[in-house]
Structure formats: C-alpha cells, structure tokens
C-alpha cells in the first residue's frame, strides 16, 4: 500500500510502499479516505528533539483521519464493513487502575497511533475496534477527518462551565480557534483569543470570537476593559499556545476564583507567579487527549447542533501533493490541512 513514512532520521517525510499491517482478532482494518496534518506531524517532519527521542525510524506517521471499515478481526462486535469511522489515537492498556475504572484518558501505558505504532498516513490503518468511532451520516468527511484535534478543543473547552462566562483563549492555532467556536456555541459571554500571528487571528474572527487580540502590539487587559466593559478579569482561561509568556499573561488577567485549563505543551520550563495563583485561588488543570469516549459523543452532538468548523480547514491537497500540505503547515499561514486519498 501507499503510505507516508519517516524513512530516515532527518528532516522530511517520504512517500513509500509498505505492507498492509496484520489485522488482529480485536482490530479493524480501516481504508483511509482523508488525512489531516497535526502539529505533532510537523514536529516529526522537522525531526526536532522530541521527535528524535520518540519516533522509531522507519515509521508510518499520522493520526487524524476519516475512513471506512474494510476488514475486521474475528472478535470484533458492533461494526460492519463499510461503516464510516474516525478513531481515538490513544491506545490504552485496559488493565491499569485508571483503565479499569473507565478513566481511559488517564491510562499510564498509552501508546500513540503514528507516534509509537504505525499511523494513518496510509491507504490502510489497523486500529483496535475499541478505539474506532462510528460516525453519524450527517458529519461531513472533512470535519470527521479533524475529530482528533477537535476533541482536544472540546475536552479543554468543556472542562469548566462556560455558560455566561468571560473566556480567554491564548493561542489561535487550529485547536484554539475550534475551542473558541465551542465556547461561543455553548453560551460563553465574551470569548477573547490572543495570538501574535495575524493570519490565525483572522481565522479566529471567522470562527466567531468576540475579540481577537494581537498581543505583540495590543494590550489585552486594556482591550477587555475599554471595549468589552470587563472590570474584574476572565472567569475561564484555556491555554492553547504552549507559550510561557501567554500563560503568565493569562494568570495575570484571571478573576479571583478563575479556572484555567492547560492544553498547550511548553517546550521547556515555564516561570509563573504563584502568588497570583494562591491569592486569587485559581484552579489550574492539565488536559491530555480526549475523554474516551465522552468527548467523541460530544463532538458529534456539537456538529449536529450547528457548530460550524469549516473555516478552520484552509487547505486541501490530493495525497500525491502531501509536500505542499506540509509546506503550508510550516509557514504558519494555515489552519487545518487535509490530504485526500481518493483525489
Ligand atoms: P499551534 O502551534 O498551531 O498554535 C499555537 C498558536 O499559539 C500559534 O498560532 C502561535 O502563533 C500562538 N502563540 C505563540 N506565542 C503566543 C503568545 N505569546 N500569545 C498567544 N499566542 C501565541 O498549535 P495547535 O495545533 O493549535 O495546538 C495548540 C497547543 O496544544 C500546542 O501547544 C500543542 O502542542 C498542544 N496540544 C496538546 C495536546 C494535549 O493532549 N495536551 C494535544 C494536541 C495539541
Ligand atoms: Zn491503562
């Protein structure tokens, strides 16, 4: 089968031919229709320090996709050939205490599709059937292809009650802008998003934020006070940049009793003013992945109730032009990039 693989321990990703993986008794064989490129795939492409110590070479990467069930193991129940699916990219062990308690997202032995095992930039993916999510017919393929990062946005955005609240999102990358759209959709009062990249801030505006602020040349708190009549601070913060300066800024503008969910992954140590945390009695919670599988059901319901994610998909290419897709991601002038296996 055709696949995109990290064939060599250097910058790049390459088209290759490889064996269709073996389908175990509890697995689905999924024929991929569309793939989407994740920031993680860009780390792997760039062969940064994290990728070098994490990714075995050669490795078929990728974990954002929509496809159809093309085969299944003898023990699989609940799926039929032809079912349209996306899938949870965190493969959990099923035997640690958290798994046994139903808290699969907290499994200590999680393996990542396209990180620790063969991924979905391929004609076929083999996935434990447990991880597959059967898609309702009214979820379009493009949207289904981005369910993995949409799930990060939904998991983070719905961690704290947003209804009627003033919400600050730092980082208008694809996940930040999707979280902003979710926050608006579920009834937040003001949704303010920050970035230093005007392309991304424009994307956030298309997704319906109250105000997109370029913190490189605007004063966030001044904007909140003068334009939005906010005088006390933000109720909920969603950190989605991984940038330490953004996190420190967020802590400063939170109201007393504010709640902060942290999704962005910093590349090194981040200094924060603990006095702000203590005297404001802030709650800070780290977020990893998606809840299995509550986040997936919520994603489907959000789309079915009219949440529009289409502006976040900015580029489409046939799989043969995958390099153009990676180039678009590398410029920072993109939202989600979709690669089509059938084009
Ligand atoms: P992205 O890198 O595309 O977006 C991050 C954005 O933050 C960029 O647009 C960047 O310009 C912006 N930014 C940089 N400095 C800033 C500052 N000072 N203030 C405000 N914004 C600033 O990333 P993404 O794909 O949207 O993902 C968001 C974050 O979530 C990343 O850090 C990613 O690694 C992380 N992530 C975490 C999980 C998890 O399970 N915890 C899963 C997926 C992604
Ligand atoms: Zn486990």
Measured CA distances, 29 to 143, 148, 218 (Å): 21, 18, 50
242 lines ligand 1 (CB under 6 A): yes
174 lines ligand 1 (CB under 6 A): yes
Is it the case that residue 8 has pLDDT exceeding 90?
yes
pLDDT at 249: 97
Alpha carbon nearest to ligand 1 atom 15, residue: 243
User: Ligand 1 atom closest to Cα of 170?
Assistant: 20
Check the annotation: does 200 bind a ligand. yes
Q: How far is the CA of 105 from the centre of ligand 2 (A)?
A: 8
200 lines ligand 1 (CB under 6 A): yes
pLDDT at 129: 98
Q: Region 182-211: what's the mean pLDDT? A: 98
Query: Token pair of 133, please?
Result: 């999510």
Domains of the chain plus CATH, in order, are 2-146+309-340 (3.90.180.10), 152-286 (3.40.50.720)
Check the annotation: does 263 bind a ligand. yes
- Separation of alpha carbons 50 and 295, rounded Å: 27
Q: Which residues are catalytic?
A: 40, 43
Alpha carbon nearest to ligand 1 atom 39, residue: 288
Considering every ligand atom, which ligand is closest to the CA of 40?
Answer: 1
What's the pTM value of the predicted model, to 2 decimals? 0.98
Alpha carbon nearest to ligand 1 atom 29, residue: 264
137-154 pLDDT, tens digit each = 999 999 999 999 999 999
pLDDT at 270: 94
DSSP 240-307: -S--HHHHHHHHHHEEEEEEEEE----SS-----HHHHHHTT-EEEE--S--TTHHHHHHHHHHHTT-
Is it the case that residue 182 has pLDDT exceeding 90?
yes
DSSP 105-123: GG-TT-EEBTTTB--SSBS
170 lines ligand 1 (CB under 6 A): yes
pLDDT at 154: 98
83-107 pLDDT, tens digit each = 999 999 999 999 999 999 999 999 9
Alpha carbon nearest to ligand 1 atom 26, residue: 173
Average pLDDT, the chain: 97
Could you give the percent of the chain with pLDDT greater than 90?
99
Q: Is the previous residue joined to 58 through a cis bond, with omega within 30 degrees of 0?
A: yes
Could you give the percent of the chain with pLDDT greater than 70?
100
- Separation of alpha carbons 249 and 218, rounded Å: 13
Check the annotation: does 176 bind a ligand. no
Q: Region 275-303: what's the mean pLDDT? A: 98
User: Ligand 1 atom closest to Cα of 177?
Assistant: 26
ipTM of the complex: 0.99
203 lines ligand 1 (CB under 6 A): no
Check the annotation: does 64 bind a ligand. yes
Considering every ligand atom, which ligand is closest to the CA of 335?
Answer: 1
Q: Region 68-77: what's the mean pLDDT? A: 98
Check the annotation: does 195 bind a ligand. yes
Q: How far is the CA of 21 from the centre of ligand 1 (A)?
A: 32
Q: Region 122-130: what's the mean pLDDT? A: 98
pLDDT at 343: 84
Considering every ligand atom, which ligand is closest to the CA of 98?
Answer: 2
Mutate to test the pocket of ligand 1, among 199, 202, 264 (most ligand atoms within 8 A of CB): 264
20-54 pLDDT, tens digit each = 999 999 999 999 999 999 999 999 999 999 999 99
Is it the case that residue 113 has pLDDT exceeding 90?
yes
240-263 pLDDT, tens digit each = 999 999 999 999 999 999 999 999
Query: Token pair of 194, please?
Result: 């920050």
Q: How far is the CA of 310 from the centre of ligand 1 (A)?
A: 19
Alpha carbon nearest to ligand 1 atom 23, residue: 173
């Amino acid at each position: 089968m055709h696949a995109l693989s990290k064939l060599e321990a250097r910058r790049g990703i390459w088209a290759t031919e490889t064996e269709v993986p073996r389908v175990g008794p509890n697995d689905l064989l999924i024929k991929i229709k569309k793939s989407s490129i994740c920031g993680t795939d860009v780390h792997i492409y760039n062969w940064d320090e994290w990728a070098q110590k994490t990714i075995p070479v050669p490795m078929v990467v990728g974990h954002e996709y929509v496809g159809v069930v093309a085969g299944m193991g003898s023990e699989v129940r609940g799926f039929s050939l032809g079912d349209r699916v996306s899938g949870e990219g965190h493969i959990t062990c099923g035997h640690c205490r958290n798994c046994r308690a139903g808290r699969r997202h907290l499994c200590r032995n999680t393996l990542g599709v396209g990180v620790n095992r063969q991924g979905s930039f391929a004609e076929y993916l083999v996935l434990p059937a447990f991880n597959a999510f059967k898609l309702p017919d009214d979820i379009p393929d493009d949207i289904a292809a981005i369910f993995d990062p949409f799930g990060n946005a939904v998991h983070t955005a719905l961690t704290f009650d947003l209804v009627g609240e003033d919400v600050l999102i730092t980082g208008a990358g694809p996940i930040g802008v999707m979280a902003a759209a979710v926050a608006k959709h579920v009834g937040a009062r003001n949704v303010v998003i920050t970035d230093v990249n005007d392309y991304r801030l424009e994307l956030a505006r298309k997704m319906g934020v109250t105000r997109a602020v370029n913190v490189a040349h605007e004063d966030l708190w001044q904007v909140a006070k003068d334009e939005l009549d906010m005088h006390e601070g933000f109720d909920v913060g969603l950190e989605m940049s991984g940038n330490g300066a953004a996190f420190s800024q967020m802590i400063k503008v939170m109201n007393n009793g504010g709640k902060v969910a942290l999704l962005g992954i910093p590349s090194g140590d981040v200094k924060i003013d603990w006095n702000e945390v203590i005297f404001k009695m802030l709650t800070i919670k780290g977020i990893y992945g998606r809840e299995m599988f509550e986040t997936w059901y919520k994603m489907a319901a959000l789309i079915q109730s009219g949440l529009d994610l289409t502006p976040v998909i900015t580029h489409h290419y046939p799989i043969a032009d995958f390099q153009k897709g990676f180039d678009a991601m590398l410029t920072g002038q993109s939202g989600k990039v979709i690669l089509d296996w059938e084009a």
